[in-house]
């Protein structure tokens, strides 16, 4: 006769094994579908010689480039991210009063310290949300800027020069035109994330401009750059509406411009994000070695 405890343990282990197998199958199916979408909708181009070898840039698709069925699946995932953001109570509270004068350096430092304390207190739920966002392979719907978008043109170089931002092999810059605090999050090929609380990665990337933790400018910019050798692999670009500052003509929906430079090739995107919305996976791209032989 089989011992009941032994039988129970065996059934529990079997059930856990089935759970792990199903989980692996679902993850594998998600990866295969992402690869299929990438092969069907992404674009690639040879961009530059680097140390004698040609670099290949592969850009991931945006949601509006997908068939309706895939767009519907993306919208479901996006709604899940928004619910997750609300459930984890990660939205920054609104300021009580509207500010008319730009804050001084002492006020800015106070807010920087408050932001660091908030990140420490909310590290676990924020990491849960970031993990969910990082699973996304499809861009949130930004459009590539063209000559027809001159009315929205932003001189990103001028803003970077003003703030002391650097340039390099890979450079991602975010610009917007109000006093809100948007944050650039760069998911590196190494698995690291560069953002205001982790400004330097072990793989060489750096956030060297971080603006509007206090509403100091209505022409802000943020900048992540690899000044030296940029690693091969996939880069994912996230934008987070961290805080809505109650300043005159500063609204809860923010238009932004994102510029990506890879080995001298430039592409700019136009998008928008609203206060209270989950972090958006705006776009992603991969650098590969295109050398044959």
* The pLDDT of residue 87: 96
Average pLDDT over residues 227-236: 93
CA distance to 38, 77, 83, 253, per residue, from 271 (Å): 21, 19, 21, 11
Q: Is the pLDDT score of 293 beyond 80?
A: no
Most confident of the ranges 55-69, 192-206, 241-255? 192-206
Q: What would the pLDDT profile of 21-43 be if each residue is shown by its tens digit?
A: 776 676 566 556 555 555 555 67
Q: What would the pLDDT profile of 72-129 be if each residue is shown by its tens digit?
A: 999 999 999 999 999 999 998 876 666 666 677 888 888 889 899 999 999 999 999 9
In 3D space, the residue among 244, 266, 241 whose CA is nearest the CA of residue 256 turns out to be 241
Please state which of the ranges 6-10, 108-112, 145-149, 223-227 shows the lowest mean pLDDT.
6-10
Higher-pLDDT residue of 57 and 208 is: 208
Those residues whose C-beta lies under 8 Å from the C-beta of residue 166, and which sit 6 or more positions away, are 206, 208, 223, 225, 227
* The pLDDT of residue 64: 92
Provide the whole-model pTM: 0.83
Domain boundaries, the chain: 46-289
In 3D space, the residue among 282, 268, 266, 273 whose CA is nearest the CA of residue 145 turns out to be 268
Q: Is the pLDDT score of 287 beyond 70?
A: yes
3-state SS of the chain?
CCCHHHHHHHHHHHHHHHHHHHHHHHHHHHHHHHHHHHHHHCEEEEEEEECCEEEEEEECCEHHHCCHHHHHHHHHHHHHHHHHHHHCCCCCCCCCCCCCCCCCHHHHHHHHHHHHHHHHHCHHHHHHHHHHHHCCCCECCCEECCHHHHHHCCCHHHHHHHHCCCCCCEEEEEEECCCCEEEEEEECCCCCEEECCECECCCCEEEEECCCCCCCCCCCEEEEEECCCCCCEEEEEEEEEEECCCCCCCCCEEEEEEEEEECCEEEEEEEEEECCCCCEEEEEEEEEECCCC
In 3D space, the residue among 268, 39, 287 whose CA is nearest the CA of residue 144 turns out to be 268
Chain Cα centroid distance, residue 98: 29
Those residues whose C-beta lies under 8 Å from the C-beta of residue 262, and which sit 6 or more positions away, are 47, 48, 55, 57, 169, 170, 230, 285, 287
Percentage of the chain exceeding pLDDT 70: 79
């Amino acid at each position: 006769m089989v011992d009941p405890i032994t039988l129970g343990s065996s059934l529990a282990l079997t059930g856990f094994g089935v759970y792990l197998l199903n989980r692996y199958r679902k993850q594998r199916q998600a990866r295969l579908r992402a690869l299929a979408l990438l092969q069907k909708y992404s674009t690639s181009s040879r961009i530059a010689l680097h140390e004698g070898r040609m670099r290949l840039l592969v850009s991931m698709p945006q949601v509006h480039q997908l068939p309706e069925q895939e767009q519907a699946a993306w919208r479901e995932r996006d709604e899940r991210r928004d619910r997750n953001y609300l459930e984890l109570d990660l939205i920054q509270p609104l300021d009580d009063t509207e500010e008319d004068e730009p804050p001084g350096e002492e006020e800015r430092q106070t807010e920087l310290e408050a932001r660091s304390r908030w990140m420490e207190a909310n590290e676990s739920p924020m990491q849960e949300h970031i993990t969910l966002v990082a699973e996304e392979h499809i861009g949130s719907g930004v459009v590539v800027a063209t000559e027809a978008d001159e009315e929205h043109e932003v001189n990103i170089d001028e803003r970077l020069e003003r703030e002391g931002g650097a340039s390099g092999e890979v450079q991602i810059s975010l610009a917007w035109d109000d006093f809100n605090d948007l944050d650039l999050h760069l998911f590196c090929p190494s698995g690291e994330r560069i953002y205001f609380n982790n400004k330097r990665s072990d793989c060489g990337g750096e956030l060297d401009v971080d603006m509007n933790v206090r509403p100091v400018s209505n022409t802000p910019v943020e900048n992540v750059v690899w000044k030296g050798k940029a690693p091969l692999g996939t880069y994912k670009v996230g934008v987070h509406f961290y805080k809505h500052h109650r300043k005159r003509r500063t609204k809860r929906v923010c238009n932004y411009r994102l510029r990506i430079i890879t080995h001298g090739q430039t592409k700019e995107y136009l998008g928008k994000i609203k206060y209270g919305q989950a972090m958006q996976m705006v776009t992603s791209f991969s650098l590969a070695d295109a050398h044959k032989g």
